[in-house]
Chain A
Amino acid sequence: MNKKRAVRWTVCFVFLTIITAVFFVLELVIGSARLSFGDVLGALSGSGDNAAVTIVRDIRLPRALAAALLGGALSVSGFLLQNFFNNPIAGPYVLGISSGAKLTVAISMTLTMKYGILLNSAEMVGAAFVGSMISMGAILLLSGKVRNMAQLIIAGVMIGYICSALTELAVTFADDANIVNLHNWSMGSFSGINTDDVKVIALIVLPVAAAAFVLSKPMGAYQLGESYAKNMGVNIRGFRILLILLSSILSACVTAFAGPVSFVGIAVPHLMKSSFGTAKPIIVIPASFIGGAAFCLICDLIARMLFSPVEISISTVTAVFGAPVVIAAMLSRRDQKGSM
């Protein structure tokens, strides 16, 4: 009995890793500049046409790495929240994190332009990050006072609405160009991520995801409900804070560098749970990370190449793939409940 599960898990992991590797390579090989596989290999090691080396090393490689890392971050973030709220359709943006980021980005875009201050990209990233963290701080404060999960979700949604309203206020004073820009930003994109960005992303995402993995045991206990988790020695208050913190940092990182990318956080964990046939965090967390990486790599490839040279925003593609998964998840959950 255990053997069967072990086999299934191994097969799934191997399959996932292969898919991720394949699409990673495809991201490197496919692009608007035609390069053969050999060219790409050469470019990676630094030999060959200068342009090819720049394209592969400075454009495609950072982008592929970013898509993989950020996709993984989003999925893990989503799973953490689903565990926290005991709701399989909770997502990383349900707590209003992306709305907070959008607000600070909107403010930076409109106000600074007005006064002629020029922002560089690090500052835009910083602005998005700060916005996410402020939303997160608000949620953390509330989670201490609020006993009920449903109330916390509502609080998060309200924070999201407040941020959106303030964003609209900022936008009223903006001209059309700014509005378009903000809209474009809020649809998400992996374009323009360079090697330095990837280093920062890796520095944030990898340790935090590892920390989430270490939390597998209390998360497994938490799946039984708070009373049982408490009985098994889990410090509920600390655990809740840690979950929110880790989840928020991951999604803040994604929002800061790529804008809000929707559906990945909800769809991928669900797909992983279905494929692996379990909800044990110790399996689902690494699976979600790899699955999320694969998902984003695939979506990014499509976003880039479908209407080349025009790039579709990544959220459009993830929505097309992710929404059916989420709908299927909702339906199956209803079925299961109904059959009892």
Chain B
Amino acid sequence: MSGTILSSKGLSVGYGKKVVVTGLEFEVCKGEILTIIGPNGAGKSTILKTIAAQLPLVSGSIDLTGKNISEIDAHDIAKTLSVCFTERITAEKMTCEDLVSTGRYPYTGRLGILSDNDKEIVRKSMELTGIAHLCDTEIRCISDGQRQAVMVARAIAQQPQVLILDEPTSFLDINNKLKLLSILKELARSRDIAVVQTLHELDLAQRFSDKILCIKDGKADRIGCPEEIFSGDYVSELYGIENGNFLPMFGTAEANKITGEPKVFVIGGGGRGIDTYRRLQRQGIPFAAGIIHENDAEYPVAKCLAAELVTEKAFEPISDINIQKALALIKKCDKVICCIENFGTMNMGNKSLLELSRNNKEVIE
């Protein structure tokens, strides 16, 4: 990680007189990936467009390679910064190679004729994003995923130091999402390119970013590394999540729990209860779960979905108190589902629960 390549001070962005986001202060170093997240309409795209010198900034300043961006010639900006936006290209009769070749424009002469070196760079960019075989295919005839790869190849061919992408993974399937983000990671690492992007997929943002900038209510709310951002209830508050629960550890969400008197008791542990919790939630059945250790993989899920939960401290064998609590709950329920096959030292208490339940409750194993 070398020096700062892009930074802003007191930056406000917007359209004409209308200010959309204020108070932006960030620094992006070479080889760093900055992801901007925030609710819809927060102004993320506006920020990107302003950084890319497409929209005039409202106030404050942006520095690119140490110089104020408004003082840099458009031509030089073109050689430093390339973009990949969401607009759909509707050019007719353009092959993929033609499109990627346009990335070389800042480097070619008067008539835009590509030199051998330029052609080589284009070829390499296409290979990097895995679409070299689409050279002669028209861009109107390829899938969305392929098109996105072409656009990224184009941005790469421009040999930028900063790459700006607006929701690059939006239309892609999971495989292509991962592929694209890996390519970006590789570019950042091997070519020291700084990447500034917006993502809606929080789990991917968590995994592939070096820094995350959160935008809310028209200002920059927080900036930090993923561990800082994805902790506690911050993300839930940022997005105002009401219809589910966000699990910062994995960067994923669970549906809302079904409230009410539990009708089923699930004996879970070791992550094996998760499927059952989710199934019961889908069926709309309030349930109780236990006894789950606090360091169990399914603990966060159980916490989200179970109406009542009995837990045990990490690494401790299940105590009698907790067993009693669980039994009290089982009494209220109609049936018991046991998800565990093997019992060990730590969760021997659950075995008791199971045996005791067999006596007077319907048990499903």
Contacts and interface: CB of A to CB of B under 8 A. Distances in A.
B78 A223 contact: no
A231 B140 contact: no
A220 B77 CA distance: 19
A214 interface: yes
A221 B81 CA distance: 16
Interface string B39-53: 000000000010011
Choose among A1, A223, A235 the residue with the greatest number of B CB atoms under 10 Å from its CB. Answer: A223
Nearest to B112: A217
B45 to A, nearest CB: 11
B328 interface: no
B77 A233 contact: yes
A273 interface: yes
B140 A224 contact: no
Contacts of B22: none
A331 interface: no
B61 to A, nearest CB: 20
B174 interface: no
B106 A232 contact: yes
B52 A231 contact: yes
A47 interface: no
Contacts of B89: 224-225, 228
Contacts, number: 81
A99 B74 CA distance: 38
B259 interface: no
Interface in B13-55: 49, 52-54
A227 B92 contact: no
Nearest to B160: A231
B111 A282 contact: yes
Contacts of B75: 233
Interface in B69-104: 74-75, 77-78, 81-83, 85, 87, 89-94, 97-99, 102-103
A217 B104 CA distance: 11
B102 A227 contact: no
A88 B94 CA distance: 14
A230 B56 CA distance: 12
A228 B91 contact: no
A224 B54 contact: no
Nearest to B86: A227
Given A220-B102, A282-B112, A340-B140, A231 B92 contact: no
Contacts of A277: 93
Given A235-B74, A273-B92, A221 B82 contact: no
Contacts of A336: 92, 140
Contacts of A227: 49, 54, 83, 85, 87
A204 interface: no
B110 interface: yes
Choose among B74, B75, B106 the residue with the greatest number of A CB atoms under 10 Å from its CB. Answer: B74
Nearest to A279: B93
A86 B136 contact: no
B105 A233 contact: yes
Contact of B108 (A217, A225, A235, A333): A217
B102 A232 contact: yes
A278 interface: yes
A279 B105 contact: no
B78 A279 contact: no
A336 to B, nearest CB: 6
A233 B105 CA distance: 9
B135 interface: yes
Q: Is the interface of B mostly helix, strand, loop or mixed?
A: loop
Contacts of A225: 87, 89-90
B1 to A, nearest CB: 26
Nearest to A213: B111
Nearest to B139: A224
Contacts of A224: 89, 91, 99, 102
A216 interface: yes
Contacts of A234: 74
A213 B81 CA distance: 28
B253 to A, nearest CB: 32
A280 B98 contact: yes
Nearest to B166: A227
Contacts of A86: 90
A223 B112 CA distance: 14
B136 A1 contact: yes
Nearest to A88: B92
B94 A279 contact: yes
B94 A221 contact: no
Contacts of B83: 227-228, 231
Nearest to A83: B91
Interface in A307-340: 333, 336, 340
B29 to A, nearest CB: 22
A220 B78 CA distance: 15
B82 A231 contact: yes
A70 B99 CA distance: 33
Closest A-B pairs by Cβ, 5 of them: A217-B112, A233-B78, A223-B91, A233-B75, A279-B93
Interface of A: 1, 86, 88, 214, 216-217, 220-221, 223-225, 227-228, 230-235, 273, 277-280, 282, 333, 336, 340
25 contacts: A1-B135, A217-B105, A220-B105, A221-B102, A227-B49, A227-B54, A228-B83, A228-B85, A228-B89, A230-B54, A230-B74, A231-B77, A231-B78, A231-B82, A232-B102, A232-B103, A232-B158, A233-B105, A235-B74, A273-B93, A278-B94, A278-B98, A279-B91, A282-B111, A333-B92
Given A1-B97, A88-B92, A220-B112, 8 more contacts: A86-B90, A224-B91, A224-B99, A227-B49, A228-B85, A231-B83, A232-B78, A234-B74
